[in-house]
Amino acid sequence: MLSLQHISKYYQTGGNKTFVLNDLSLDIDQGEFVSIMGPSGSGKSTLLNIIGMLDEPTSGYHYFMDQPVHQLKEKQRSALYKQYIGFVFQAYHLIDELTVLENIETPLIYQNIKGAERKALVADMLDRFNIVGKKDLFPAQLSGGQQQLVGIARALIGKPKLLLADEPTGNLNSKQGEEIMELFKKINKEDGVTIIQVTHSEKNAEYGSRIINLLDGRIESTTTL
């Protein structure tokens, strides 16, 4: 599904190159649940952003669903992204001015899906996440766990093949975190959504099927569970 080959990302500071990712190669198959771990500054988030096409590598080859992403134009990349990828953030990043329902609906609007169909899809999703009663609330009226739930619902509404999560439990307490991880596991198993998460927590990492440890922009070790 996803293949990174010799990916490097560096910044030019003075005469030196500061590497964030250094000649990194990685393959991920359909249906995997991958946890990326590593100390601060090891390049976890950058790697995730490159996979999510929010960021571009300085060099290397990037294939996603058999498409050479590194050769695609902005527009094609955006289309690919819209169709296959969902994103979950540590800080939830819900849009404050929109209600829960509208937040979840937004990706569908950008996919030009008709109103009636949108309503049905969103209703299903609210139902599935048990947040029907909260649909008209604004993000500020929800707890962190609930906000993240909405964030995940929003990421899943477009039926993505790949879900990217950047420390999804980072701002939550352990109980809320556990619930979110259980949810991830369920999504991975039942819907067959490939998940890649960045995490600091050993415990959360173990929900995945594979743990990749990064250090200084390289893969230090890979553990398959």
Partner 1 sequence: MLKNYIKTAWRNLWKGRVFNIMNIIGLSVAVACCIMLFLTVYYEFSYDKFHANLDKIHQFYFTKNGAEKVEKATSMPAPLTPAVKAEYQDIKYITRMSNGGTVVRYGDKQLEESIHFVDPDFLKMFTFPVVKGNTDAPLKDLNDVVLTEFAATAIFGKTDPIGKSVELNYSGEPKTFVVSAVVKDFPPNSSIGFDVLLRFENTPTYQANMKSWDHHDHSVFVQLNDNVEPAAFESRLQNFVKKTFKTTIADMKRDGARPDAQGNVYTLNLLPFADNHFDTELVGLEGNSVSKIYVLALLAIGIFILVIACINFVNLSVARAFTRAREVGVRKTLGAGKWQLLTQFWVETLLVCLFALVLGIIMANFALPGFKATFRSQVSMSMLLQPIQLVVIIGLFVLITIIAGLYPALLMMRYKTVMVLKGSVNTVKPGKVRNILLVTQFSLSTLLIVCTLITWQQINYFKNKPLGYSKDEVVSIPVGNSVNGARALELFRNQLNGQPGVVAISGAYDNMGNGKDGSTRTSIIGFTYKGHDVRTNIQGVSYDYAKTMGIQMIDGRDFSREFATDSNAIVVNEKMAAQLGRKNVVGTYVAMDEKHPQLVVGVMKNFHFRSLRTEIEPLTLVLSGYEMNYIFVKVRPQNLSQTFNMIEQKWKQTFPNAEFQGSWINENTERQYKAEQRLSTIFISGAIIAIIISCIGLLAISFMIMVQRTKEIGIRKVLGANIAGLVLLLSRDFLKLVLLAAVIAFPIAWWLMNQWLQSFVYRIDIQWWIFALAAFIAVFIAFITVSFQSIKAALANPVRSLRSE
Binding site for partner 1 (CB under 8 A): 45, 49, 52, 54-55, 75, 78, 81-82, 87, 89, 91, 93-98, 102, 106-107, 109-112, 154, 158
Cβ-based neighbours of 204, under 8 Å, separated by 6 or more: 35, 169, 177, 181, 197
Cβ-based neighbours of 210, under 8 Å, separated by 6 or more: 32, 33, 34, 35, 222, 223, 224, 225
Decide whether 91 or 132 has the Cβ nearer to partner 1: 91
CB of 157 to partner 1, least distance (A): 9
CB of 18 to partner 1, least distance (A): 16
Decide whether 84 or 207 has the Cβ nearer to partner 1: 84
Decide whether 109 or 225 has the Cβ nearer to partner 1: 109
CB of 166 to partner 1, least distance (A): 8
216 phi/psi in degrees, rounded to 5: 50, 40
Number of H helices, E strands in the chain: 7, 10
Decide whether 10 or 209 has the Cβ nearer to partner 1: 10
Cβ-based neighbours of 127, under 8 Å, separated by 6 or more: none
Cβ-based neighbours of 73, under 8 Å, separated by 6 or more: none
Decide whether 82 or 210 has the Cβ nearer to partner 1: 82
CB of 209 to partner 1, least distance (A): 25
CB of 42 to partner 1, least distance (A): 16
CB of 83 to partner 1, least distance (A): 9
**CA separation for the pair 75, 131 (Å, rounded):** 34
Decide whether 93 or 200 has the Cβ nearer to partner 1: 93
**CA separation for the pair 87, 94 (Å, rounded):** 12
Cβ-based neighbours of 34, under 8 Å, separated by 6 or more: 28, 194, 195, 196, 197, 208, 209, 210, 211, 212
Decide whether 19 or 89 has the Cβ nearer to partner 1: 89
CB of 189 to partner 1, least distance (A): 25
**CA separation for the pair 87, 63 (Å, rounded):** 18
Note whether 188 and 31 are within 8 A (CB): yes
